[in-house]
């Protein structure tokens, strides 16, 4: 079995409110395992503890409880060695305002021990990869939000990390730019095989990018798994609405294969199916055999929003 890139057990973290106030627990007993090459999403509303979790795993914050191994190294004891092999791109990219795009990349390259030709080549490659070559001499403060975010991603790859932390990578971007950054993330994962841990509160984004997700609520990890597994576990499924021209077909809808739930109202029948695409032909055939005419058929696949609602409420 391949070693997990992230293996965390019982992670807990609290912060004191104000100078001497009580400790507010932000993470409680979080266990997490991430497989190599995955894009793993950590989802949850604001204040759920996503950034705290990612910061602990990225060696920026010490946990109060529990243990975490990242790339086989302890996030506290082996932090200096681990830092060589990870990197981070965060929302609202922030870099020194008066340094140019190239200066910033060179600065971070040097922090990872790069210099001379190796640094020059690396910076040139990243400038090309993220379409930043024409802005190489532009100072950070003059870049658009999208370009800043691209610089943030470029910086995050300066050390060829084996694990990349993406903290709300498209937060604050317009739709087009967000889409572009998501495509970039997918391409990176596909082409380099780098494992990514991504936090987001954008469920569509998680759906689009992540092979596996975990939900955090009030510092607790309340559910995790592949999206279809979660759907099955929660009894959620694709929605199929059959709207008949007059009365509905006289069928025992609950007994049809793959039907998890059903509701009949006037001429409309709503079914929740475990796997909509596979079950649809058999259901339509059963309806067809009753001679009842369908006015409309609507299929809506289950989405993360539904899973999220089910889990968090």
Binding site for another protein (CB under 8 A): 15-16, 51-52, 55, 58-62, 80-81, 83-84, 86-88, 90, 94-99, 103, 106-108, 110-115, 119, 139-140, 155, 159
3-state secondary structure of 230: helix
Tell me if 237 sits within 8 A of 273, measured CB to CB.
yes
- For residue 79, the minimal CB distance to another protein (Å) is 8
- For residue 271, the minimal CB distance to another protein (Å) is 46
- For residue 101, the minimal CB distance to another protein (Å) is 13
203-234 in b/e form (b: 16+ CB < 10 A) is bebbbbbbebbbbbbebbbebbeebeebbbee
Give the whole-angstrom CA distance, residue 95 versus residue 118: 22
Residue closer to another protein, measured from CB, 51 or 189: 51
- For residue 269, the minimal CB distance to another protein (Å) is 50
- For residue 103, the minimal CB distance to another protein (Å) is 6
DSSP-derived secondary structure letter, 256: S
Residue closer to another protein, measured from CB, 7 or 79: 79
Tell me if 213 sits within 8 A of 40, measured CB to CB.
yes
Residue closer to another protein, measured from CB, 110 or 300: 110
Residue closer to another protein, measured from CB, 71 or 269: 71
Tokens of 12: 């807990």
**Which of 192, 105, 226 lies closest to 155 in space, CA to CA?**
105
Residue closer to another protein, measured from CB, 62 or 233: 62
**Which of 231, 238, 251 lies closest to 292 in space, CA to CA?**
251
Residue closer to another protein, measured from CB, 166 or 236: 166
Instruction: Please give the full DSSP string across 55-112, using - where no structure is assigned.
Output: HHHTTSS--SEEEEEETTEETTTTHHHHHTTEEEEESS----TTSBHHHHHHHHHHHT
Tokens of 161: 């990390």
Residue 187 CB contacts under 8 Å (≥ 6 apart), including other chains: none
Report the residue count for the chain: 313
Tell me if 127 sits within 8 A of 102, measured CB to CB.
yes
- For residue 196, the minimal CB distance to another protein (Å) is 15
Give the whole-angstrom CA distance, residue 34 versus residue 3: 9
- For residue 26, the minimal CB distance to another protein (Å) is 9
Residue closer to another protein, measured from CB, 81 or 190: 81
Residue closer to another protein, measured from CB, 7 or 60: 60
- For residue 97, the minimal CB distance to another protein (Å) is 6
């Amino acid at each position: 079995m391949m070693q997990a890139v992230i293996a965390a057990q019982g992670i807990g973290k609290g912060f004191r409110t104000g100078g001497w106030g009580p400790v507010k627990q932000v993470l409680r007993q979080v266990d997490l395992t991430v497989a190599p090459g995955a894009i793993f999403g950590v989802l949850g509303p604001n204040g759920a503890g996503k950034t705290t979790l990612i910061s602990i795993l990225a060696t920026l914050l010490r946990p109060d409880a529990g243990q975490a191994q990242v790339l086989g190294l302890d996030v506290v004891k082996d932090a200096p060695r681990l830092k060589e092999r990870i990197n981070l791109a965060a929302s609202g990219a922030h870099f020194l305002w008066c340094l140019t795009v190239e200066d910033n990349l060179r600065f971070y390259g040097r922090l990872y021990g790069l210099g001379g030709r190796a640094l020059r080549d690396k910076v040139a490659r990243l400038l090309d990869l993220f379409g930043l070559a024409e802005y190489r001499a532009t100072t950070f403060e003059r870049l658009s939000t999208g370009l800043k975010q691209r610089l943030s991603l470029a910086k995050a790859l300066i050390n060829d990390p084996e694990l990349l932390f993406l903290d709300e990578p498209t937060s604050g971007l317009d739709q087009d730019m967000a889409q572009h950054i998501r495509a970039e993330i997918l391409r990176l994962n596909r082409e380099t095989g780098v494992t990514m841990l991504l936090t987001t509160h954008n469920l569509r984004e998680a759906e689009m990018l992540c092979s596996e997700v975990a939900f955090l609520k009030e510092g607790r990890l309340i559910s995790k798994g592949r999206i279809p597994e979660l759907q099955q576990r929660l009894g959620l499924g694709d929605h199929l609405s059959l709207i008949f021209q007059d009365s509905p077909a006289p069928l025992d809808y609950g007994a049809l294969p793959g039907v998890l739930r059903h509701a009949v109202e006037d001429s409309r029948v709503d079914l929740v199916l475990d796997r909509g695409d596979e079950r649809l032909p058999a259901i339509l055939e059963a309806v067809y055999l009753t001679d009842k005419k369908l006015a409309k058929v609507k299929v809506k696949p289950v989405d993360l929003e539904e899973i999220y609602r089910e889990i968090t409420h």
